[in-house]
Amino acid sequence: MQFFDLLSQNEQFLLFSALKVLGVFLVVLPMVGASVLAERRVSAWIQDRIGPNRVGPLGLLQPLADGVKTMLKEDFTPNHVRKAYFWLAPAITVIPAFLTLAVIPFGSQLGSQKMVIADLNVGILYTFGIVSLGVYGIVLAGYSSNSKYPFLGSIRASAQMISYEIAMGMSVVPLFMLVESLNLSEVIAYQAGGAWLVFKQPLAFVIFLIAAFAETNRLPFDLPESETELVGGYHTEYSSMKFLLFFLGEYANMIASSAMMVTLFFGGWTLPVMGLDAPATSILGGLAHVGIFIGKIGLLMGLFIWVRWMLPRFRYDQLMDLGWTRFIPLALANILVTAVVLWVIH
C-alpha cells in the first residue's frame, strides 16, 4: 500500500482507471466466448440436436477452438474492394461496442474505488452517441466490399439502425423524467430497494428491448445479413481475423445493450434481498455486486439467444413499418403520459 501513497491524486486516478479498463476487457472477452458457446448449445437444444460437445469437458473449450480456427484461416482480400475502408470497417465495428461499456456502473465499490470507468453526468447521452457511431462500421464494410450483396446489406443496416435509434432514444426519456438525472449511477440509486424501473415503465422496456434487437442486428431483425437472400450481407467478402472482428463486435454489442438494460430497468448491481441494495463496505460485498451485475447480463443474453431461435425473420417493409408507425408514436405517448402523471402528482 505504501506504493499507492507515493502517487499523486492524478496518478492514482490514471492507474485505477487503467486497471478498470483492463478488468472490463478481461471479463467481456470471455463472456463473448461463453455466449457463442451458449448460442450453439441452446440452438441445438431448441432444434433437438446435441450441439458442440467434443472439445474439452461438455464442449466448454469450443469457443477457444473456434477462435483459433478463425485466426489461422487465410486473410483473403478480394481484388475489387476499396482497401482502406475494407481494413477500417471491422475496427470501426468493434470499437464503439467496447466504448459504451465505459459509463456503465458494473458494481458498487471495491475498497474506495467506484466500480465504473467514467462516472459521466450525461452517461446515457454518451452511450447513445457512441452507439450511433457503430453503424459506420457496417455501412463502410458494405460500401468497400464493392459487390451487390454487401452493399444491399449495408443500405438496409443504415436505414434500420437510424430508425430504431429514434425509438430507442425516446423510450428512455420517461425514465429520466422519473429519476431526474442522466447519470447512470443515480439511475441505479433510484432503483435501490426493488423499485426497478421495469415495473414502473414496462412499455419503455418493451420498446427498448425490441429496438435493441434491431440495433444489434439480431433475429428477428437481422436483415442486414440475412443469409438466405443476401448470402451474409455486409460481411460476405470478409474472412479470417476481419470476420472475427465483426463477430466479436456483434456479441460485444449484445453484451453492451444487455448491460444497458440491466442498468436502466433491472436495478443494475442491486438486489432487494440481504442488504445488497446499499454500496458495499467490504471487498467480498463489492465482488458480490459485480457478480450480480454479470448474472443479470447473463439472463438477458439468454433471452437474446432464445428469441433468435424461436422467431422467423421480419420482412424489410414490416420492420420499417413497426419502427416508424408503431414504436415512435408509442414512445411519444409514453413520454406524454408520464409527464402528465408527474404533473398531477407534484
Partner 1 sequence: MTTQDVFFYVFSLLTLVCGALVVLNPFSRNPVTSAMFLVLTIVSMAGLFVLLHAFFLAAVQILVYAGAVMVLFLFVIMLLDIKEEQRRRIKTFGLVAGGASVAAIVGIFAYSLFQSKLGPASPAPLVAGATRPLGELLFSRYLLPFEMLSILLLVAMVGVILLSKKDLK
Note the residues at the interface with partner 1 (CB under 8 A).
Answer: 85, 120-122, 125-126, 128-133, 135-136, 139-140, 143, 151, 154-155, 158-159, 161-162, 165, 182
Counting every residue written for the chain, the total comes to: 346
Which of 162/283 has CB closer to partner 1? Answer: 162
Amino acid at 176: F
Q: In whole angstroms, how close is the CB of 132 to partner 1 at the nearest point? A: 3
Which of 156/242 has CB closer to partner 1? Answer: 156
Q: In whole angstroms, how close is the CB of 207 to partner 1 at the nearest point? A: 18
Q: In whole angstroms, how close is the CB of 7 to partner 1 at the nearest point? A: 16
Instruction: For the beta carbon of residue 218, count every other beta carbon within 10 angstroms.
Output: 18
Which of 87/309 has CB closer to partner 1? Answer: 87
- Give the span between the Cα atoms of 83 and 143, in whole angstroms: 11
Q: In whole angstroms, how close is the CB of 131 to partner 1 at the nearest point? A: 8
Which of 36/331 has CB closer to partner 1? Answer: 331
- Give the span between the Cα atoms of 271 and 108, in whole angstroms: 12
Instruction: For the beta carbon of residue 291, count every other beta carbon within 10 angstroms.
Output: 12
Euclidean distance between the first and the last CA atom of the chain, given in angstroms as a whole number: 50
Q: In whole angstroms, how close is the CB of 161 to partner 1 at the nearest point? A: 8
- Give the span between the Cα atoms of 272 and 256, in whole angstroms: 24
Are the CB atoms for 204 and 175 separated by under 8 Å?
A: yes
Are the CB atoms for 169 and 125 separated by under 8 Å?
A: no
Q: In whole angstroms, how close is the CB of 286 to partner 1 at the nearest point? A: 27
Which of 141/219 has CB closer to partner 1? Answer: 141
Residue 73 DSSP class: S
Which of 215/225 has CB closer to partner 1? Answer: 215
- Residue found under cell 486473410: 75
